[in-house]
Amino acid sequence: MKTFLLQFFTWWSGQTIGTRFHTWRHGQRVGSDDNGNVYYQGGSDSEGRTRRWVIYPAASDPSTISPGWHGWMHHRTDVSPASETYVAREWEKPHVPNMTGTALAYRPPGSILNQGHRPKVTGDYDAWTPKS
């Protein structure tokens, strides 16, 4: 019952009731990835292309979509990674969750949350004054 209520009232907890209905009615499972995401296709979108969507195993986090599936989701390729022997390139990095709001978040030099000091201005900038 709790799962049903989460799916009914939230969009960030896996799939909504609308997605569940659309998947049941039009969905054809295409494959899944190492992160537990399951990919579907079926029906057509407003441009006449085959509609593609993903159902996340837990909270909706689009950054967990691997690069191969990302290309398929955005119609960059018609062949899904499940239909071919997709091998990640050596420059493709593994997934790192979004760290915004945590102690591990990126804080550039000069940020008030960073312990360092703001870098000195190089002299190529002159502040505006009313009399200049």
Domain ranges of the chain: 2-73
The single residue listed with the structure tokens 């990919």 is 39
Q: pLDDT digits over 83-112, tens only? A: 887 777 888 887 788 888 888 888 887 777
Alpha helices in the chain (DSSP H): 2-9, 17-26, 67-73
Which amino acid belongs to residue 117?
H
pTM over 0.95: no
Q: pLDDT digits over 40-88, tens only? A: 988 878 888 888 888 888 777 888 888 888 888 899 988 888 888 777 7
